[in-house]
Amino acid sequence: MLQVKNLDFNYPNRGFVLRSVDLELKPGNIYGLFGKNGEGKSTLIKIMAGLLFPKSGICNLNHTQTKKRSPKTLQEIFLVPENFELPALPISTFEKINSSFYPNFSNEQFYGLLEEFQLHPSNKISTLSFGQKKKVLIAFGIATNTKILLMDEPTNGLDIPSKSQFRKVMASAVDKGQCIVVSTHQVRDLHSLINHVIILDNSKVIFDHPLEIISKNLWFGRATQDMGEVIYSEGPFGGRSILTRKNLDETEVDLELLFNGVLQETQNINQAIKK
């Protein structure tokens, strides 16, 4: 569905932010996009949304380059950016003006989500807090039912109850055939939500695997000496570790541990997955 091939990108007069990036994003998946500060997550998401153009290589949605910004392509992509400005209008007026750009927009879904987020259609957007504005945009983004839904740090600005509300809404409200990309540092907020992990480091994609394959091949937890070879460990012996799974019972993927492990032991972890 969304194909990124041999993509390079740099801002004017700056070094490369992205180099030789290859990705193949498929419908029905929720991708977690991780990377340290400044590794290019927002840049990649903006390229996917057709807001920035690659220096070389391609980013295609269903064989059409997003940089061409054709209406047919743009009506199938929605981006919830990290920072944004919304007009000083009641939420319902914002919906009426903007929903017409998205042929699969569902009013019912949008107003249902607003209710879930305890917002009223008559609320004037300019009077809302940043977190509440973000909820308006998240609800709107989900209700667009676009083929691609891109979310850059969606839980940034949400309070603790709203973060679990976000997970609940995402799990139940998103179309199961959609392709969703969520970039965040708050890996715990994506717990039980994503089913594919992408990690950017040093301008490159260094990890790109489905959660199912990760949990099939890696073991996460506090290891004892007889359990086998530790690939990555945090703290002294007995700290949280990643092991090759072999005959060990399946464990839940610890996203934070995986992220730290991949940054330190990129090759060994990728090898353990490909064995």
Ligand X SMILES: Nc1ncnc2c1ncn2[C@@H]1O[C@H](COP(=O)(O)OP(=O)(O)OP(=O)(O)O)[C@@H](O)[C@H]1O
Q: Which residues bind ligand X (CB under 6 A)?
A: 11, 14, 17, 35, 37-43
* Cβ proximity to ligand X, 42 vs 178, nearer residue: 42
Read off the DSSP letter of residue 90: B
Structure tokens at 19: 């180099």
* Cβ proximity to ligand X, 35 vs 54, nearer residue: 35
* Cβ proximity to ligand X, 80 vs 143, nearer residue: 80
Shortest CB 199 distance to ligand X, Å: 11
* Cβ proximity to ligand X, 37 vs 56, nearer residue: 37
Shortest CB 18 distance to ligand X, Å: 8
Q: Can you spell out the DSSP letters for 85-96? A: ---SSBHHHHHH
Of 24, 25, 45, the C-alpha closest to 34 is 45
* Cβ proximity to ligand X, 116 vs 201, nearer residue: 201
Shortest CB 250 distance to ligand X, Å: 31
Give the other-Cβ count within 10 Å of 75's Cβ.
17
Alpha carbon distance 162, 138 (integer Å): 12
Task: State the residue for tokens 């890996």.
Answer: 187
Side by side, which strands form the sheet with 218-222? 218-222, 240-244, 230-233
Shortest CB 114 distance to ligand X, Å: 27
Shortest CB 31 distance to ligand X, Å: 15
